[in-house]
Amino acid sequence: MSVLVTGAAGFVGSHLTETLVREGHHVRALVRYTSRGTAGWLDVVDRHVAAQIEILKGDVRDAQAVRRAAAGTTRIYHLAALIGIPYSYESPDAYIGTNIIGTANVLDAARDLGDKLERVVHTSTSECYGTALSVPIDETHPLQAQSPYAATKIAADKLVESYHRSFGLRVVTLRPFNTYGPRQSTRAVVPTIITQVLSSPRVRLGNTWTTRDFNYVDDTVRGFLLAGSAPAVDGRVINVGSGREVSIDQLVTVIGRMLGREAVVETDSARVRPPASEVERLIADTTLARNLLGWTPQISLEEGLQRTIVWIRDHQDEFRVAGYHV
């Protein structure tokens, strides 16, 4: 099968691309052009895998580039997005361009493929739900835009819904909760805690009483693969999460214990979200994923954290620990 992955150079996208190649698919990877000529995390995948990836440099905001990338493919996995929540407060226009206009470009390119296209798998986020009004959170939970990032992802999800209802586009929306694992940057809380505990007993964080639902990247990738091939899921939104609620305080304790260190948490005001913007509680109901995809998480939080710690220890030179980088 000929497959397009947008956002293939990123954390989850690189893992998905690598897995698709290993499963025997021809994978075209759309990665954002830079003058350095790099392909993000695809530059570090196994060389035998990398040799089989067709890499195209471009930008999802460029409709022509997206059409060229999509031409001749039979399935599209759309992961390209700006994802750092704090930066969305500073530059919302950038998120509108990439997350909304970029998604519209992907959908239009998919329409051009007509009956040759089997499906688009669109990537959403649990941030669309905002703070849980009821738990666990199922797909009927109200959508609450508590950050500019969340607003653009909700808009993208609704564009996807409209293209399915208006044009019959075969598309499914996967809504991952907090994915973590190797290759994730310190903009996310798990690598932030691990890198800080490895370098110092002091861990500087924002609010630590908030809770999240952490899902290891291999489980998330398996959700994408199943969503791409499962029957009768077009037009659906499907959660992918562990179903386990963990506070950031608890996460620090678990990671500290694994590293044999007692971490002391200090509040860094720069990392605290605006009060009305803070998502206080997330925990997934994955009944639909189980019933429609046959998906359940396979890797526990403890096992996933251990794998992530091992990888970060082997790549400490690639992380900036000092200071806070939005």
* Per-residue model confidence (pLDDT) at position 319: 82
Is residue 21 situated within a structural domain? yes
User: Phi and psi at residue 187, in whole multiples of 5°?
Assistant: -70, -20
Structurally, how many domains does the chain consist of? 1
Q: What is the CATH number of the domain that holds 124?
A: 3.40.50.720
- Judge whether 313 lies within some domain: no
d(C-alpha 305, C-alpha 201), whole Å: 18
Is residue 58 one of the residues assigned to a domain? yes
Per-residue pLDDT tens over the stretch 302-315: 999 999 999 999 99
Does residue 226 lie within any of the structural domains?
A: yes
Half-sphere exposure of 56 (CA within 13 A, CB side): 21
Structure tokens that stand for 61 in this block: 């905001």
Residue 191 included in any domain? no
Q: Is residue 94 part of a domain?
A: yes
Q: Which residues of the chain have pLDDT under 70?
A: 322-323, 325
Alpha-carbon gap, residue 223 to 236, rounded angstroms: 14
Nearest-angstrom CA–CA distance, 53 and 267 = 43
Inside any domain, residue 311: no
Residue type present at position 303: E
In a domain, 38, yes or no: yes
Q: Is 149 a catalytic residue?
A: yes
- Say how far residue 74 (Cα) sits from the centre of its chain: 22
Q: What is the pLDDT of residue 320?
A: 76
Which of 77, 149, 163, 216 is flagged as catalytic? 149
Burial profile 281-317: b = 16 or more Cβ within 10 angstroms, e = fewer? bbbbbbebbeebbebebebebeebbebbbeebeeeee
The residue segments making up the domain with residue 164 are: 2-181+215-243+284-299
pLDDT for the residue 201: 86
